[in-house]
Structure 1
Amino acid sequence: MPPRASCSWRGKTARRLVAYALAGTLVSAPVSANVESYQSDLPNIGTAAASTLSVAKEKEFGDAYMRMLRASKPIIDDPLLGEYVNALGHRLVANANDVRTPFQFILIDNQAINAFAFFGGYVAMHSGLFLHAKTESELASVMAHEIAHVTQRHLARSMEAQAQTSPLTVAALVGSLMLAIAAPEAGIAAAHAATAGSMQSQINFTRRNEEEADRVGIETLARADFDVEAMPRFFSRLADEYRYASQMPEYFSTHPLPASRITDSRARARQYPQKSVPDSPDYQLARARIVARYSGIADRSAMDWFERRHKAASPAEKHSLDYGIALLDIDAQRYQQAREKLAPLIKAQPNNRFYIDAMTDLDIGEKQYDSALSRLNQALSQQPNNRVLLLNHAYTLVKAKRGGEAIKALERYTHQHADDSNGWFLLQQAYESTGTHRDGELAAQGERYALRGQWSKAIRNYTQAAQLAELGSLAQARYDARIDQLRHQQARFKALSDR
């Protein structure tokens, strides 16, 4: 996609912008027939918070928090990675118990090892996890743990525990917990300051949450046919790696990791059948994409990373490493070298969206727009509703200066996927490219502001769009109606923030 003007998922210069938040649709996954005979002996206390905060209210808070994250955090705005982490996450969710809300999984561009969950079924992971998790099962173990925090309603239970020892109401506690989204340890500290609760009781409660999330997460891993040993293995390696470090990873601040927790997770994993689970090709490709574009590693160092691993890699792993090298070549405008790497890959797997996306980058770099569109049209004939392909197609139309076609495609796309800033950004670019749709350009930009909770800016843009539209036209009526909706959303957002 665009070479990183102010929002895209391509190249090296704008990695840290708007979120690509995929709406969650549960994906079916096989359930291991052996799981039922390996039940945990810990009690299930995860639903005790139902009286504190309704699921509907949690969703409302989750939406507000997601808008805050888009405005304040470097969320990875990459459709391919969004598609991968959501497919992996929903495979786990489909095998989890007590699921009461749709889930969305997002990546934050941060090399630190961390992940966190918050209201409304949102799970955020740092891109650094891909560099430290050595297998897909290890990555899945972190996700399963965070999914358990949501299904067991740990945030709501934390508020309930605080409310029982504090004169403040649950509504007042929500304000302090808002900090927990961006920095969970800061949120915990703020909650203590607000409630005068004891630090030791909060630490103990947090550890109980972590133990419960481990137990439930391991069961989910087993049901989803991942390697359950991956969780204690990942914990143990982190503990060994940072045993003598002067500065501990952020993960340890938000996820206490005493030796007893590692021992307990290992014992629980051994209650399940042991199995060897190979990494999926998409995991390997997603990891290569993160190393090439979201690791913060310089071009030469990233190339060394791929080349060192290439020597001992299996044939399947070499494909993902060649893909990563091709991305580095594309970003450095070494187009001939990139084509030499990509051509055999896409010939062998012409429907692989990672390869199609990279070839689109390459064709656009060489201004071969018809070649890119031909390939994308062929892929869309088989997967007409795939977001990655639709966005690639629209972006290619914009770069080929076919703004009118791009507008038609993107108006349909944004109507169906109103939560996707990529679509709105491309629509804004398409309107701008025509030079005759300033009102549409302002409205598309206004939707991007709204997704970041910047309501005043969104309303200002729509007001200007309405003034530019023909008096009494359908467009003006639509803009005026949207202004009313935005003001209503602004009022609701403020009410939540003021709690």
Structure 2
Amino acid sequence: MNIKHQVTKYLSLILIFFFVFTPSVSKGYLGEFTIKDEAKLGEKFKKLIRTRFPIIEDPEVKNYVQKIVQRLERNMPPQLFPITVDVVNNNNMNAFATVAGYMVIFSGLILGMEHESEVAAVLAHELAHISQRHVAKNIERSQLIGLGTLLGVLAGVFIGSKAGGDALVVGSLAGAKSAFLKYSRDDEREADQVGLNFLMAAGFNPQGMVSAFEKIRKKKWLSGGGNIPSYLSTHPGIEERIGYLQERVNRLKKRVDLPAYSDKEFYRVQTLLRARYTDPASALKFFQEKALDECLRGLGKAIALSRLNRIKEAEAAFIKVLKCGSKDPLFLREAGRFYYAYGQLEQAALYLQKAVLLNPKDLMALFFYARVLAEKGDFDTASIYLRKVLKYIPEDAEVHEHLARVLGQKGDRFAAHLHLAYANLYKNNKRQTRFHQKKIKSLARTDAQKKKVKDFEKAYKERAEFW
């Protein structure tokens, strides 16, 4: 091998290493929008979503969505960022993927579908946008400068100017440049095709992508386009996309048998979302009229009745439901929540403890069990359990608030005010946040406490940016 050939070989290896492994350069193209920039923008956008929308932290819902995403992700090529997903409590049929592997799905999308494969299809489509790095590439081409401007444009594209906040859209520049960040026809076609591949590889029925898009189209007609993603309602060609996807599925049907629908867990999550997170009167009417699995139907009715304060009817419904779900941790948890809400602590403790033992990952059951223990005066165990819950959902205002009460009962004033500060921070209550911030500064004595004050001030600064 001559010297010239060796030099060429080593230069090629250096260039390959630079493009593939150097973290400061976006993979696949050179430019100003680096991997570090994308990570920062992703974190800011996530904080924006969590400031503007109620996030569903219920593990029954959250883990279900994550399970679908992980099943799809196993069939994706290696990604620059880990895939993370938040479930937003909102009736709109919406889902989107932005930068740094961050995805959002609205509860309305889950409720608006008939099969698990349809939800998986929408998520597969969004994962394809991530895999093909459509947003990052569009940002690079747009030549927008500054994370603040980029954040405002992303907010306008994905969640609308109202949800994004006018203050985030920096002048006419962001508005004029937002067109660069919207998916093109080619982006959507590629996401359809790649997403369908992910869907089939994960073992979902590919017909789900066609029927999901048909439902989105129908929702657009019925609502005037106001309750579906803005980028879908304005982007042309959805009829064409449904057509070529159906053609591909038809060709596939001729070669292989399509996977059967598997919707048991999907219906379970739908029942919980409808009963717990939508209008209770409408939910009750739905469960009274729709032909569902008898146990799920009964659970939905019981939860809706309890939310309507129809206590005797709710208790009768829960007693009936527990006969067919006496070993189901979700049924036990919801019964425990009901008895806790109406002051029957012994019954609540019995059902919630069983739920935790059957499903240790159900942080909602553990949260309510800790509250029962606190009501019964066991503050030490209650604080241990509440801290365990916060380890996994550190931005839950309600958990911080109840931990603060328990710590106050134990006489730890600094820790109580600290968690009240976090509770109000995550509730976007600026006045109360500042009040408790002043308290913790005045109460901090040890180095550990002073560090916690600094940690809180950092969290406050990051969150307050979106107020």
Bin the TM-score by the shorter chain.
0.7 to 0.9
Is the contact made by 1:459 and 1:486 (CA closer than 8 Å) also made in structure 2?
Answer: no
Q: Does 1:479 align with 2:449?
A: yes
- Structure 1 match to 2:14: none
Match of 1:302 in 2: 283
Q: What pairs up with 1:198-209 in 2 under 5 angstroms?
A: 205-209=183-187
2:126 is matched with which residue: 135, 143, 146? 146
From the superposition, tell whether residues 340 and 126 of structure 1 become closer, same or farther in structure 2 (CA, over 3 Å). Answer: same
2:453 counterpart letter in structure 1: I
Given that 1:176 and 1:194 are in contact with CA atoms closer than 8 Å, whether structure 2 keeps it comes out as: no
- 1:12-31 paired onto structure 2 within 5 Å: none
Q: Which residue of 1 aligns with 2:394?
A: 418
- Aligned counterpart for 1:338 among listed residues 309, 314, 318: 314
Q: How far did 1:238 drift?
A: 3.2
Measured in 2, the distance between the counterparts of 1:284 and 1:349 equals 15
Partner of 1:220: 198
Which residue pairs with 1:247 in the alignment? 224
Task: Give the CA deviation at 1:131.
Answer: 2.9
Structure 2 counterpart of 1:362: 338
Q: Calculate the aligned-residue CA RMSD, in Å.
A: 3.6
- How far off its partner does 1:328 sit? 1.1
Long gaps (5+) in structure 1: 1-45
Number of residue equivalences: 431
Q: Residues 119-158 of structure 1: matches in 2 within 5 Å?
A: 119-158=99-138
> Helix, strand or coil for the counterpart of 1:251?
coil
Distance 1:327 1:484, change over 3 A: same
What is aligned with 2:19? none
Q: Confirm or deny: 8 A CA contact 2:379 2:410 kept in the other structure.
A: no
Among 275, 291, 294, the residue aligned to 1:292: 275
Match of 2:73 among 87, 93, 100: 93
Q: Structure 1 residues 414, 424: closer, same or farther in 2, change over 3 A?
A: same
- Residue identity in the other structure for 1:283: F
- CA pair 181-410 structure 1, distance change in 2 beyond 3 A: farther
- Asked if 1:176 is matched to 2:147, the reply is no
- Note if contact 2:93-2:108 (Cα within 8 Å) is conserved in structure 1: yes
Partner of 1:265: 245
Q: Is the 8 A contact 1:67 1:453 kept in 2?
A: no
Q: Contact between 1:376 and 1:392, CA under 8 Å: does it hold in 2?
A: yes
Code of the aligned partner of 1:308: E
TM-aligned CA distance change 1:270 to 1:328, over 3 Å: same
Structure 2: which 5+ runs fail to align? Answer: 1-25
**CA shift at 1:305, angstroms?**
1.4
Summarize the Cα distance change of 1:219–1:343 in structure 2 as closer, same or farther, 3 Å threshold: farther
| Alignment-mate amino acid for residue 443 of structure 1 | L
How far off its partner does 1:112 sit?
2.0
Structure with the higher fraction of residues in helix conformation: 2
Q: Secondary structure at the match of 2:289?
A: helix
Q: Residue 281 of structure 1: which of 259, 264, 273 is its match?
A: 264
8 Å Cα contact 1:379/1:389 also seen in 2 = yes
1:230 is displaced (CA, Å) by: 0.9
Q: Which amino acid aligns with 2:451?
A: A
For 2:101, the aligned partner's letter is G
Q: Residue 440 of structure 1 is aligned with which of 415, 426, 438?
A: 415
Task: Map 1:348-359 to 2 at 5 A.
Answer: 348-359=324-335
Distance 2:299 2:250 in 1: 36
1:108: how far off? Answer: 2.2
Q: Does structure 1 residue 111 correspond to structure 2 residue 91?
A: yes
Larger mean CA deviation between 128-137 and 66-75 belongs to 66-75
- Contact kept, 8 Å, 1:137 with 1:277, in 2: the verdict is no
Question: 2:158, 2:230 within 8 Å by CA — same for their partners in 1?
Answer: no
Residue 372 (str. 1) matches residue 348 (str. 2):
yes
- 1:71 paired with 2:51, answer yes
CA 1:246 to 1:90, structure 2 compared with 1: closer, same or farther past 3 Å?
Answer: closer
Local SS of the residue matching 2:184: helix
**Aligned partners of 1:478, 1:455: CA distance in 2, in Å?**
25
User: Is the contact made by 1:118 and 1:181 (CA closer than 8 Å) also made in structure 2?
Assistant: no
Question: Distance in 1 between the 2:242 and 2:358 partners?
Answer: 46
Moved more, 51-60 or 364-373: 51-60
Deviation at 1:463, TM superposition (A): 4.3
Aligned partner of 2:213 among 217, 226, 235? 235
Larger Rg: 2
Query: 2: distance between equivalents of 1:137 and 1:394?
Result: 36
Q: 2:173 aligns with which of 177, 188, 194?
A: 194
Counting aligned pairs with the same residue, the percent is 20
**Matched residue SS, 1:107:** strand
Q: Residues 87 and 426 from structure 1, CA distance in 2 versus in 1: closer, same or farther, beyond 3 angstroms?
A: farther
Q: Which residue of 2 aligns with 1:4?
A: none
2:189 pairs, out of 208, 211, 221, with: 211
Q: Does structure 1 retain, via aligned residues, the 8 Å contact 2:88–2:106?
A: yes
How far apart are 1:119 and its partner, in Å?
Answer: 2.7
Paired residue secondary structure (1:439): helix
Contact 2:302 2:315 in 1 (8 A): yes
CA displacement 1:195-245 (0-9 Å, x = unmatched)? 796888766x532222222222212211222111111112123324544x5
- TM score, norm. by length of structure 1: 0.74
TM-score after normalising by structure 2: 0.78
Change (3 A) 1:52 1:180: farther
